[in-house]
A and B are shown apart, each in its own frame.
Chain A
């Protein structure tokens, strides 16, 4: 077999020969011992390269793959705005307390250092169903009872984040410390509402 024959055989194995050439090679493989041996060697090498990969692929476990990938992906470029997150978080009965919540957000965002809060919440804030300015409202001396709220004593935010604390009014309610992106120049989350849907 010369080099040209070898190349023809390679093309034959890939099914890339014209029909008449393929028929000629098939005839040679069937009748010529040298062609036959070369053909068998190439068939076998392909099988032996492929078999372990096929076997390993069949037992591959991709269960943790997505979690591993997702954990390393960068955060989406456009995150939900402050308003969107507040809208998502708040339910209609809370609308009455929004002004107080906004005031609390502004207060904690600009607060330079932890400061002891007043001993008791103001009556107005206490009436807010779900959001209240936690630093002030939550400082009543709480007994070590799980039904009492977590008390936020002080907040320092030196970066661009705004901290907003949602304190429960009902005993046993949930305390959530929100960490939100500060409003940006484009008005994302900070601008006054422009649609009827805006809760603030």
Chain B
């Protein structure tokens, strides 16, 4: 299964710069080695930030989440049995933290899905910008209307590039459930976006999507 570009690049970087395996660092942290924990933080912070950002939709909240997650993780290292990769366990803790936080906030802020600062948008024609804004709004509504589990699954897949197996581990459900959730979420998103594609410059929008795909390759 393909991984999204950002994640695979990150993972490659992490692997290439990885001097000490996560498991060894975890063992050292358990023995009270603060520097080992710092290495883990520095190694995984960007990925955790992206996961938190995808779910919380606010850069400040996401940075808070990164801090909170690592503090929680430090306190719960005894819970980490090593059955999954440390990075996957970390994402699981992050997702749970973000879901808790979203529940406390009661609403899901989808404004971050698309904004006018998106690189390249400002260089587009006014028509393109209008279409993007309309699609962005439709996407926001569709994501906000998704259930928490479906939204989490689609964000982990589309934004963070997690594989089905990883999403299953993170969400604590079978792989088949993940596939089903993704299918359900995509169906809703597709229904929400199709009218815009059909009514407002399908060809140009399709080209944009195609460019995006090529950029990732």
Q: Do A14 and B182 touch (CB < 8 A)? A: yes
Q: How large is the interface on B (under 10, 10 to 19, 20 to 34, 35 or more residues)?
A: 35 or more
Interface residues of B in 147-195 (CB under 8 A from A): 154-155, 157-159, 164, 179, 182-183, 186-187, 189-190, 193-194
A45 within 8 A of B: yes
Q: Do B118 and A55 touch (CB < 8 A)? A: yes
A149 to B75 alpha-carbon distance, docked (Å): 43
Q: Do B54 and A53 touch (CB < 8 A)? A: yes
Q: Do B206 and A40 touch (CB < 8 A)? A: yes
Contact status of A15 and B2, CB under 8 A, knowing A51-B114, A52-B112, A73-B71: yes
Main secondary structure on B side of the interface with A: helix
Q: Do B71 and A72 touch (CB < 8 A)? A: yes
Q: Which residue of A lies closest to B38 (CB)?
A: A66
Q: Which residue of B lies closest to A34 (CB)?
A: B194
A79 to B70 alpha-carbon distance, docked (Å): 22
A70 within 8 A of B: yes
A14 to B183 alpha-carbon distance, docked (Å): 11
Q: Do A41 and B189 touch (CB < 8 A)? A: yes
Which residue of the partner chain, among B34, B59, B155, B187, contacts A49 with CB atoms under 8 Å? Answer: B155
Q: Do B34 and A76 touch (CB < 8 A)? A: yes
Q: Which residue of B lies closest to A16 (CB)?
A: B1
Interface residues of A in 21-79 (CB under 8 A from B): 36-38, 40-57, 60, 62, 65-66, 68-70, 72-74, 76-78
B41 within 8 A of A: yes
Which residue of the partner chain, among B32, B42, B66, B115, contacts A76 with CB atoms under 8 Å? Answer: B32
A184 within 8 A of B: no
A53 to B57 alpha-carbon distance, docked (Å): 8
Q: Do A10 and B182 touch (CB < 8 A)? A: yes
Query: What's the least CB distance linking A3 to chain B, in Å?
Result: 8
Q: Do B67 and A65 touch (CB < 8 A)? A: yes
Q: Do A51 and B118 touch (CB < 8 A)? A: yes
A7 within 8 A of B: yes
Q: Do A6 and B187 touch (CB < 8 A)? A: yes
Interface residues of B in 108-132 (CB under 8 A from A): 112-115, 117-119, 132
A11 within 8 A of B: yes
B198 within 8 A of A: yes
Q: How many residues of A contact B (CB 8 A)?
A: 44
Query: Closest 7 A-B residue pairs measured CB to CB?
Result: A15-B2, A43-B209, A47-B212, A41-B193, A76-B32, A46-B158, A44-B209
* Interchain residue pairs with CB less than 8 A apart (27): A3-B187, A37-B198, A38-B194, A41-B197, A43-B213, A44-B209, A45-B139, A45-B142, A48-B118, A49-B139, A49-B155, A51-B118, A51-B119, A52-B113, A52-B117, A53-B54, A55-B119, A57-B6, A60-B59, A62-B42, A62-B45, A62-B49, A65-B67, A66-B41, A69-B67, A69-B70, A73-B37
User: A residues near B, CB below 8 A?
Assistant: 3, 6-7, 9-11, 13-16, 36-38, 40-57, 60, 62, 65-66, 68-70, 72-74, 76-78
User: B residues near A, CB below 8 A?
Assistant: 1-2, 4, 6, 32, 34, 37-38, 41-42, 45-46, 49-50, 53-54, 59, 62-63, 66-67, 70-71, 74-75, 112-115, 117-119, 132, 135-136, 139, 142-143, 154-155, 157-159, 164, 179, 182-183, 186-187, 189-190, 193-194, 197-198, 202, 205-206, 208-210, 212-213
Q: A42-B186, A49-B158, A52-B113 are in contact. List 19 more A-B contacts (CB 8 A).
A: A11-B183, A14-B182, A37-B198, A41-B190, A47-B209, A47-B212, A48-B113, A48-B114, A49-B155, A52-B112, A52-B117, A57-B53, A62-B66, A65-B45, A65-B66, A66-B38, A70-B38, A74-B75, A77-B32
